[in-house]
Chains A and B, each alone.
Chain A
Amino acid sequence: MKDINKDLKKMNQQTFDDAIEELLAGDMDMQQAERLKQASASDQAMASTIIDAWALRKGLDELEIESVSATLEARLLAIPDQSQSQTRNNRFAWLNPANWQTGQSWAIGSALAMSLIIAIGINSQPNRAEILQAREDIRIALAYLGKSLNQADQLTRDELNQQMHKILAGQAPLRQPYRDIDNPVKIENIDL
């Protein structure tokens, strides 16, 4: 673990890029995976990059292999072998379907991606401050709701009281026609 922490401190952009390339190539071992996991624990962007690399690796693996047409094969064979192609082959070895059978490195990469996905998932849960803000928001929403309903209720009661007083004082008939919108207060229905 000491070595890992030491490596962590040293991890710079170049070593990170190398690690990603190894993940893409399917050459990652347990120690490298652990290093990446530790390094990305406090860096969500780094964790996302690792997950993207792993997804790319997985996508490449799922590409269908098609047989080459005879004419294309003939043309490819006509291309002279070049010395630098060997280096390039090493660099892009992971593009070779024959190398995609590296089950162990796949499992390591997948396990790393899995742990990072879970970590990001956990991080996406609201923190304490957000929950406290949500509670405050609920309080404000309920306060406005209660206030609005209370006001509507009070207006309705006031109007009913006024009408009742008028009826009892003989200033209004017991049966009144339905009032239209031009009146100061219109109550169509209330059920609180």
Chain B
Amino acid sequence: MNITLRKFTISLTVMLGLLLSSTGMTQTNEIKKLAGYVDFGDLTSSYGEPNVEINLGPSMLQFASAIIGDDDPEALAVMKGLKAIRVQIYNIDGNADAAIGQINKSRKQLETENWEQIVKVKKDGAETHVFMKMIDGKIEGMTVLVAGDKDQAVFINIIGNIDPKDLGKITESFDVDIDIDP
């Protein structure tokens, strides 16, 4: 086989490898390596499967961002900074113990990883915690942990460069209704 043909086949092999490796599993593992990733643990043994579970990686976020278009460059810029969105919502049916236990476990982990806690509210057995991961003055991730509110445990992890004050820019673009009552 001549050299040109060999180079051609090697190039094809590389392309094949690249395509086969770009699976969802690979993407999930890549997300776990990001600084803004938070391990929520697994509460299925306590509450069953989450009634809301969202895992959006970078490629899906960019496809979904196409709705914004060029009309709102600020919102588009915010979306481009995002690498992943993860949400888990459990029905806790009045028993927040396991959820609060998981939140405490996550909090300890976040503290050892130098996350900054910007909100900590406890009232009537319900807890809300908001953490941010900053690296060199840049936000790399945000997580919101809520337990005991309306019989729900809420775990949210936004990975990427997201500033809470910029949230309004994208909530408007996606026509978000904050007053949801699932």
Contacts and interface: CB of A to CB of B under 8 A. Distances in A.
A131 B158 CA distance: 19
B127 to A, nearest CB: 10
B9 A58 contact: yes
Given A139-B176, A185-B122, A192-B119, A134 B56 contact: yes
B25 interface: no
Interface residues of A, number: 50
A152 B180 contact: no
A135 B64 contact: yes
A101 interface: yes
Interface stretch (B30-38, B40-48, B163-171): B163-171
Contacts of A134: 56, 60-61, 63-64
A117 interface: yes
A107 B2 CA distance: 11
* Chain B interface extent, by class: 35 or more
| Residues of B contacting A: mostly | mixed
A189 B144 contact: no
B5 A107 contact: yes
Interface string B1-45: 110010011001101100100100000000000000000000000
B12 to A, nearest CB: 5
B1 A135 contact: no
The winner among B85, B89, B121, B158 for most chain A CB atoms within 10 A is B121
Nearest to A101: B1
By DSSP majority rule, is chain A's interface helix, strand, loop, or mixed? helix
B176 A110 contact: no
Interface of B: 1-2, 5, 8-9, 12-13, 15-16, 19, 22, 52, 54, 56, 59-61, 63-64, 66-67, 85, 87, 89, 117-124, 128, 130, 144, 146, 149, 154, 156, 158, 164, 167, 170-171, 174-180
A151 interface: yes
Most buried by A among B154, B171, B176: B176
Contacts of B176: 139, 142-143, 146
Nearest to A109: B9
A103 B124 contact: no
Interface in A120-163: 120-121, 124-126, 130-131, 134-135, 137-152, 155-156
Contact of A151 (B89, B124, B149): B149
A100 to B, nearest CB: 6
Contacts of A187: 120-121
A178 to B, nearest CB: 13
Given A137-B54, A139-B176, 18 more contacts: A55-B16, A103-B2, A106-B1, A114-B12, A117-B12, A117-B16, A121-B19, A126-B59, A138-B56, A138-B61, A138-B85, A141-B56, A141-B87, A145-B167, A152-B130, A155-B121, A156-B119, A184-B124
